[in-house]
Amino acid sequence: MSEQNDKHNVDKDKLSTLFKEVQDIRYGRAKPKQQLNFNFEQIQFNRVYVINKKFNALGVIIGILFLLLFATSIQGNYIFATTEKEKVAINTFEENNNTIDIMEVISNNISDLTKKEIETKQVEIPFETKYIENDKLPKDEEKIIQTGKFGYKDQTTIKTYENDEIIDEKIINEVINSNPVDLVIEVGTSEFLYNKKVHIGDNMYTTSDTNMYKTEDENGDKVCLIYENIDVKLISEKDGWVRVLVDGMEGFVREEYLTSEELTPGISEIARKKRIKLSLNIDMPLNVTSGLTRSDFTKALSGNTNDKNHIFEDNAGLFYDMEQKYKVNGIFLAAIGIHESGWGTSDISTQKKNLFGYKAYDNSPFASSAIFESYQYGIELVARMLARDYLNEEGTVIFEGEVATGKFYNGPTVNGVNTKYASDKEWGTKIYNTMVSLYNEI
């Protein structure tokens, strides 16, 4: 490669010398010879060499431009004899005003470089989006059931540059590494779900007492009567009939008898309380929580004119806490206190802070009754005693690892407690009636 470069430099020196001689003749600094014999063989033009994908055309460009300049200069500056006899050049000198600056031409052309480059890069393959109709979704609602993912491929291209600017790019090879995954979207078509603002599996609520049928036929067999403001679970709907599940029973009701929380705000809370009240009966188990909230207890035990000292209103939250801690129905616990103390007005209540007549005997109730340091202490003591001795069978784990004795257990109902707790045979019925009045305040 170095020999080729040296040769190139020598040729450039010869060109420069020859160019100087022509210029001297042109501008009168030297006389032209009788015969101009240029030995072009002395000027060796290099072939085009490709080095690092660059094509060097310097030798060819210089040679061609020199010939053009030489011919132009000779023809423009001298008139030679055109016959065999006229052997001497005519000495008429003509100035050429449109001379070619050969060095500028060479400079402009020598900078033209071309190169090619091969490049391999990773390219994303876009995924497609597919839409599927679903009659179990509200109309126009969309649900993605498959996430779209890009695929990837290795793409090889050959790029052509000229003067560092890309002039051509061709893809010559592609290898797929991973295929794209379609984005799949379900689009709802159900007018019913759209109008009722619900989805399959949501709770709906009856707007009136309504029959549930075995099939989509009002003349067919009935499954049960569903009361107004009762929650049912939506299974499916078709042609004006809605398949629902309520209390373990399944059947069909007409869609016009159903609403939703969004269409009827507050209906779910009404249904919750309605169900609690429907579960109220004299044989209901009292060793489970009632389902009432702290707010429900406050509402049930507040504002009663019989609670002159506000004992039950002030301790409504405590009755709720005792239900959660000992799994004793808190309304049942409050009803015992209300019945035994006359809403906190009895002497045992006011003087001994004993709302329950705890340890009071019929022959000397005041004297024999226990004294409590506070109403709160007495409320918790009786709740614990009921769970341990009256409402659970022996061996039942009731709270904090403590086990029930069951020594007064006769069933977890109000009449079961009545058996050993009070000598009054009607005590259970009286307690239950007080419970009903409290539940009705919710």
Assess if residue 254 is contained within a domain: yes
Q: Is 390 exposed, middle or buried (0-12, 13-18, 19+ CB in 10 A)?
A: buried
Do residues 256 and 305 both lie within one domain? no
Do residues 10 and 48 both lie within one domain? yes
Q: Is 370 exposed, middle or buried (0-12, 13-18, 19+ CB in 10 A)?
A: middle
Measured CA to CA, the distance from residue 416 to residue 410 in angstroms comes to 5
* The token pair that represents 413 in the structure block: 């109902």
Do residues 302 and 369 both lie within one domain? yes
Do residues 152 and 132 both lie within one domain? yes
**By residue range, what is the domain housing residue 302?**
279-439
| 341, containing H or E segment | helix 330-341
Beta bridge partners of 251: 244
Which of residues 128, 155, 187 is at a domain's end? 187
Which of residues 149, 166, 187 is at a domain's end? 187
Do residues 122 and 183 both lie within one domain? yes
Assess if residue 192 is contained within a domain: no
Which CATH number do you get for residue 183? 2.20.230.10
Which CATH number do you get for residue 316? 1.10.530.10
Q: Per-residue b/e over 310-338, b at no fewer than 16 CB within 10 Å?
A: ebbeebbebbbbbbeebbbbbbbbbbbbb
Nearest to 65 by CA among 10, 117, 12, 1: 12
* The token pair that represents 215 in the structure block: 């099939």
pLDDT of residue 67: 55
Assess if residue 321 is contained within a domain: yes
Q: Domain tally for the chain?
A: 4
Which of residues 81, 112, 143 is at a domain's end? 112
| 274, containing H or E segment | helix 267-278
Assess if residue 150 is contained within a domain: yes
pLDDT of residue 399: 87
| SS3 at position 31 | coil
pLDDT of residue 114: 83
pLDDT of residue 5: 45
Q: Do residues 105 and 72 lie in contact, with contact meaning Cβ atoms separated by under 8 Å? A: no
Assess if residue 403 is contained within a domain: yes
Assess if residue 75 is contained within a domain: yes
Assess if residue 331 is contained within a domain: yes
pLDDT of residue 259: 98
Do residues 37 and 163 both lie within one domain? no
Do residues 41 and 85 both lie within one domain? yes
Do residues 106 and 214 both lie within one domain? no
Do residues 376 and 316 both lie within one domain? yes
Do residues 231 and 163 both lie within one domain? no
pLDDT of residue 100: 52
Which CATH number do you get for residue 232? 2.30.30.40
Assess if residue 414 is contained within a domain: yes
pLDDT of residue 22: 56
Do residues 53 and 162 both lie within one domain? no
Do residues 183 and 153 both lie within one domain? yes
Length of the chain: 442
| SS3 at position 237 | strand
Measured CA to CA, the distance from residue 13 to residue 7 in angstroms comes to 10
Going residue by residue through the chain, which has 442 residues, state the pLDDT in tens, using 9 for 90 and above.
444 444 444 455 655 665 566 566 555 565 555 444 444 444 333 333 333 333 444 454 555 555 555 544 544 444 444 455 444 444 444 444 555 555 555 455 544 578 989 999 999 999 999 999 999 999 999 999 999 999 999 999 999 999 889 999 999 999 999 999 999 999 999 999 999 999 999 999 999 999 999 999 999 999 999 999 999 999 999 999 999 999 999 999 999 999 999 999 999 999 999 999 999 999 999 999 999 999 999 999 999 999 999 999 999 999 999 999 999 999 999 999 999 999 999 999 999 999 998 988 888 889 989 999 999 999 999 999 999 999 999 999 988 889 999 999 999 999 999 999 988 999 999 999 999 999 999 9
* Model confidence pTM above 0.75: no
pLDDT of residue 389: 96
